A and B are shown apart, each in its own frame.
Chain A
Amino acid sequence: MKVFVNAVSSVRLADLLVPVELTRKLRRADDYIRLAVVAACTTMQTQGTLTQHYGERCGLVLGSAFSTMQTNFEVLDSVVSKEQASPTLFSHSVFNAAAGYVASTLAIKGAALTITDFCHPFFKALEQAWLAIMSGGLDSCLVLQVETYSTLLADGRKTLVDEGAPWLPGVVCLLLENKKSSSMGLCVGETKITSKACHSQRLLTARQEVTVGTLCQTLYEPLGAAFFLAELLAKNEFQGNVFSVKSDWGDVRLHLNQ
């Protein structure tokens, strides 16, 4: 069994355009859900085989560091204000709401897992998706990282850390399949992820050193490594066969082969 990356998309919230066909579906959705659904649909469509993917053999694994934090605070706001909570806001504040929207939009009926982790959530999601395909549980699986952060978090960062630019909300999405079906078609090997304890203030720097072939880059946001990988894949500029991330909270080694 082999697993291939056959499609990819990434977008920042500031650049997000909701396609007309999704506007009704997403009319009450928050930014977090809109990012997830639009990226998932774009990823499927770039491969041009949207209708072939739905069903029980297709799954999705969504990772996030901060998940629906902003929507959670909006619900908390009504609680501390002694007001009735909005049922829509509450249901959207549940961490797997976005996965539910993606699944219902694309009729994905296989495994849908949501993972919340400050440490490399995209790569942990990728690892689970890879395992689900390698073990024969799925034929294809979307892997997403979505981040919208929150105003409270941004203010906390300003107080506690002084390095790095503001974190930009966005999404990264890959399509993994058990067959090569696009010119991208990189074969995914096992992902090695190590974790180590670090002071929580270091997480607010989000400092990660990414190395791919001869390329080295230092990134300062939770979506940084996933975005960097997605952009290399989209431009067909992936060099070598290892994508590595080093950080204070652990390291990642992802093997990708032509």
Chain B
Amino acid sequence: MGSRLLPPVVTGYGAITALGENCQAAWRNMAAGLVCNVGMGERFFPAGFTAPCFQVPSVTADTGRSSLDDLIPSIKTSNRTVQLALLAVAEGLHRAGLSLGELRGKTVGIVLGTTVGCTFHNEEYYVQWRHGLNPAAEPLLAYLSSNLADKVREILGVTGPGLVITNACASGTDAIGVAKTWLEYGKCDIAIAGGADELSRVACHGFKSLMLYSEKSCSPFDKDRQGLNLGEGAGILVLERQEDAQRRGQKILGRVRGYGIAGDAYHPTAPHPEGYGLQCAVKGALGDSGLSVADICLINAHGTGTRVNDLAETHAISALGFDPDSLPVVSTKGFTGHTLGAAGGVEAVYTLMALNEGFVFGSAGCHELDPELSFPVIKEAESRVLTGKIGMSQSLAFGGSNSAVVLEGVEM
């Protein structure tokens, strides 16, 4: 293994969520304060329970990028998680100025996080099988050919390492961290990293059973919050080594400066009450980046809207020594819902956009802060001009896994 190279630069990013079909639309809708969730009844939840989900209104095959038109037939025939991923990838590659032809001459690492995207959840097949029938094999074969990273690589027609990370809600953040390491140690020339996930009945039923699902629009950090709402989407970064981006004259849109991951070793589903693992992950990410808490001008929190998450997360931020008078902390899940394996990717993209714009919107749904929070959060009605270019996106997951990435924006 060669010596470590400089942290990678971001040359492209793309995201699709209920907030917007691309980054531009999402930013515009955040500015307008749009919360685009829809009430879901028995289609997603047990009978007698209705709650909002953040569903992407339409997944169209039109990438809007002529250089990526080759992708359209594949987008049309893929499963929903792959479709969401491909649309974010198409946006990211377009922004990075990379055609499929250019990409095919390089070693492309693809690291994607997901949860639902790795499960076989074809209900028709399952019900037939359970009733002793012999269901048609196509759904099972389609599942076997739909490993997210392999599928995206196959559709893009590229070669290089691939990995699917299934670290629950931290999967997307971990995917970006792994891609950073791959580029630093020369395992690939370009990395496509982030996460994608579709809405699932199993996840909706599951979070309802854990009494973590809010019947009203989710309101992270608010004193009256009831829990989370699920969402779907995808968010990816296109990462390269700086010299490669400069060689092809591509504008640099940011940097992934640091990554940290640590475990609570505490409970299968609940975070450590003081956010022990998150504190270690943030310290790790800062150490990896060579920066300190004073350098961070924005934290995009995991901010699910569950009481245990919000308290643990703000406790960790406070214990790490961030300045409550100057550091804006926000959650974007009030705009997108909790997109599970996609969340880390989506939130990294939105964090970088805020850093590049020098401005962050308040946390949708948060009207009055929970007085038990250990660190203040920017409320919905507020917004903040950022005082620097370096921020952090953090994720907490089932299994006690915690991750953080340090991102650096650029002057636009």
Contacts and interface: CB of A to CB of B under 8 A. Distances in A.
B251 interface: no
Contacts of A94: 115, 168, 398-399
A91 interface: yes
A106 B284 CA distance: 21
A229 interface: no
A73 B126 contact: yes
Given A67-B166, A87-B210, A135-B181, A100 B118 contact: no
Nearest to B161: A193
A204 to B, nearest CB: 7
Contacts of B201: 79
Interface in B344-389: none
B163 A200 contact: no
Nearest to B162: A195
B325 interface: no
Given A85-B209, A94-B398, A114 B167 contact: yes
A82 interface: yes
Interface-central residue, B130, B153, B181, B206, by most chain A CB under 10 Å: B206
A75 B208 CA distance: 12
Interface in B144-171: 144-145, 147, 149-150, 153-154, 161-168
Contacts of B46: 82-85
Interface residues of B, number: 67
Interface residues of A, number: 66
Given A96-B399, A113-B174, A124 B120 contact: no
Contact of A104 (B119, B165, B280, B400): B400
Interface string A160-179: 10000000000000000000
Interface of A: 54, 56, 67, 69, 72-73, 75-80, 82-87, 90-97, 99-101, 103-104, 106-119, 124, 128, 131, 134-135, 137, 152-153, 155-156, 159-160, 190, 193, 195, 197, 199-201, 203-204
Given A79-B123, A84-B205, 19 more contacts: A56-B262, A77-B126, A86-B209, A90-B206, A91-B206, A94-B399, A95-B168, A104-B268, A112-B167, A113-B261, A115-B163, A116-B118, A116-B147, A128-B163, A131-B1, A134-B1, A152-B129, A160-B137, A160-B141
Interface of B: 1, 4, 46-47, 115, 118-121, 123, 126-127, 129-130, 134, 137, 140-145, 147, 149-150, 153-154, 161-168, 174, 178, 181, 184-185, 201-202, 205-211, 261-269, 276-277, 280, 284, 397-401
28 contacts: A56-B262, A67-B166, A72-B120, A72-B202, A79-B201, A79-B205, A84-B209, A85-B209, A90-B209, A91-B269, A96-B167, A101-B399, A103-B265, A104-B265, A111-B262, A112-B263, A112-B401, A117-B149, A118-B150, A128-B163, A134-B1, A134-B185, A152-B126, A153-B140, A156-B140, A200-B143, A200-B145, A203-B144
